[in-house]
Amino acid sequence: MRGLSRISVIVVVVILAVVAMGAGYIYLSKPPSFSSMGKIVVVVNPVPRERVEAEARELESFLESRLGLDVELYFPTSVAAIVESLRFGHAQLALGVGSLPAALALYVADVEMLLVEVRDVVIGNESRAAPYYYSYWIVAKDSPYRGLEDLRGKRACFPNELSTSGYIFPMYRLVQLGYIKPPADPKQFFGEVVFAGGYAQCWEALKRGHVDVTIMAGDVPVSLYWEAMNNSRVLEQQGSIPAHVVLVSKSVPKDLRDRIKNALLELNNKPDLMRKFVSAIFVRFEEKGVEEHLKPLMDALEATGLKDKYLRVSG
C-alpha cells in the first residue's frame, strides 16, 4: 500500500486550497486511462486514523474478490486531494465524500454519484438512521439570548468555512431570517467571528464564555452531541443536510460500475468494516438520485450567493 505524496495541489477552488493548507498529491500531465491501469484506485475521506493503512487490506481484499481487479486504497490528508485525484484520473472511486466536495467534484471531474450513506445521526432528541441530518445554533443555558435576533453584534464560533452543516447551512438560515444578505458573510451580523477548526473546539469556546453562540451538528460523536445539547439551549436549526456519498469515475465501464455498486451494497452486511474505514456512524449504503440528494445544498449555495465561491473552477 502506498500513501499519496504531497506537493502543492493545483487549485480548484481558492478557498478549498487555502483551508486545506496546500494538501495534495503527485499527478501526471496525462493521466493513465482506466483500461491501461488494470486496477481500481479508491480514495477515502480523510478522518483521524492511527492503524487504518495497516488494516485497510481487509477492505481491499473484499473489493478485489468481488471485482476481479487489483484494488488500492488511499487515505489522503484533505478533501482537496480527493477532488483532485478524481479530476485528474488518479482515482476511480471515492468513499465517504461530504456533500460539498462531492458537489465540487461533480462540477470539475467526470464522475457520477453512485450511492449515498445512511448514517446513525441524532435529529433533535432522537437517534435515527438517515441519509441527512440537521445542525443547530446553540447558546449557553444561562445566557440571556432567546433568539438569533438577540445576537446581533455578538461573538460567534464556526467550525470552518468548508463545513456544510457548520457554516453553509447556518449562513443559509441567517439569509432566510433576513439577518444577512448574499453573498453571505457572518460579519454582516456578528461583531466577532471565530473559525475554531471543529465542533469540539467551538463547544469548548462556548463553555468557557469566549463566544456567545456556536453550531452543533447531528453527525458529530454522540458523546459530544449530548454534552453540548444537554448543557445549552437551541435557538434555531437548519437542514436537512445531505450526508456523505460515493463517487465513481465515468471512465470506469458501465458494467464495472454496476459491479462496484453491488459490491458496496454487499458491504451493508459488514457495517463494522465500513465504520472502521469510512465513517464511525455508517449504517448502510443506499441508492438515491443526485439531484434529489444534493438539492438542499445547492439551494443553500444559491440563496447565500456562495455557489461561485465554492464551486468555481480555477487554474
Q: What pLDDT, in 10s, does the model give residues 173-207? A: 999 999 999 999 999 999 999 999 999 999 999 99
The answer as to whether 77 is a domain residue is yes
167 & 27 share domain: no
Residue 32 domain-assigned? yes
- Residues 114-142: what's their mean pLDDT? 98
- As a whole number of angstroms, the distance between CA 102 and CA 97 comes to 6
CB atoms within 10 A of CB 47: 12
Residue finishing a domain among 188, 216, 241? 241
The verdict on residue 57 lying in a domain is: yes
Q: What CATH number is attached to the domain comprising 165?
A: 3.40.190.10
- Number of structural domains (the chain) is 2
Q: Which long-range contacts (CB under 8 A, 24 or more apart) does 270-274 make?
A: 270/62, 273/58, 273/59, 273/62
> Is 226 among the domain residues?
yes
Domain closes at, from 220, 241, 262: 241
Angle between helices 169-176 and 290-304 (to 10 degrees): 60
Q: Tell me the sheet residues that pair with 74.
A: 43
Cβ atoms within 10 Å of 288's Cβ, excluding its own? 17
Q: Is residue 234 part of a domain?
A: yes
pLDDT digits (tens, 9 = 90+) for 16-61: 443 343 333 333 333 445 555 589 999 998 765 555 666 788 999 9
Do 93 and 177 belong together in one domain? Answer: no
In terms of residue numbers, what domain contains 149?
134-241
